[in-house]
Amino acid sequence: MIVSPLIDAICDSWREVANLIASHPWSEPRGRRKEPILVERLRGILAKNDASVEMEPEVKFDSWYVDLVCTLGSERIAVEAKYKTNQDGAVPDNRKAAFFDLHKLETYVSSGEYSAGLFLWLTNNRSYLRQASGDSSEFSTDTGRIYNGGDQLNARRFRNNDMPIPLILNGDYVFEWQQVTPESAWHTLIIPVRKG
């Protein structure tokens, strides 16, 4: 894990957002713009927890947009957030999109514009926690999955035309899903992305 007060503050605030949604199902964001709403909630809680953190959503980077950029002193963290519920379809495509988000974070960090990246995911859909099969099997996000940097990820089809085929990440990543509360169906995943 990266040692960073800013990353710790973001992760703590993310856990608060996850706990709020898990504890109050009526507060769950819905509709096509669920992820931006979730990012707004993260911004609100992070601002309450640490007013010195500067935050900017939807920051352009080449042809992409970083979901959230957090700055504190010389630290600048790129955050990509994913929020998928039982009502959402396209589980195979969303797995591929998660790995593409990791690829984008690696690109942001390697540019030198960001000191690190964070991939944050909240879901109540247990499909993401189980081994994938079929077209998204190489993109499995199951609990305990270890991706070794340099491994090629292939699939017959991709929803995003920007995704390189095959997709190859530089870093090693472990998918360690955490249950938000002992009673809830909600799980969260936090993956830091480092330089080099």
pLDDT at 160: 67
Confidence at residue 156, expressed as pLDDT on a 0 to 100 scale: 75
d(CA 87, CA 55): 30
As a whole-number percent, the residues of the chain with pLDDT over 70 amount to 94
Say what the pLDDT of residue 26 is.
64
Q: Quote the pTM value.
A: 0.94
Q: Where are the domains of the chain?
A: 5-193
User: Which DSSP helix (H) or strand (E) runs through 47?
Assistant: helix 34-49
Q: Which two tokens stand for residue 23?
A: 């504890």
pLDDT in the model for residue 196 = 67
Give residue-wise pLDDT tens across range 152-178: 998 777 776 788 889 999 999 999 999
* pLDDT for residue 167: 94
Core vs surface per residue 33-68: b (16+ CB within 10 A) or e: ebbbebbebbbebbeeebeebebebebeeeeeebbb
pLDDT, residue 186, reads 95
- Extract the residue ranges of the chain whose pLDDT is less than 50: none
Residue 164: its pLDDT value, please? Answer: 87
Residue 3 — φ and ψ, nearest 5°? -90, 115
Q: What beta strand segments (E) does 38-194 contain? A: 54-61, 64-72, 75-84, 116-123, 146-147, 152-153, 167-168, 173-174, 178-179, 187-193
* pLDDT attached to residue 34: 84
112: left (phi over 0), alpha (psi -120 to 50) or beta: left
Q: Give pLDDT, residue 48.
A: 96
Q: What pLDDT, on the 0 to 100 scale, is given for residue 155?
A: 79
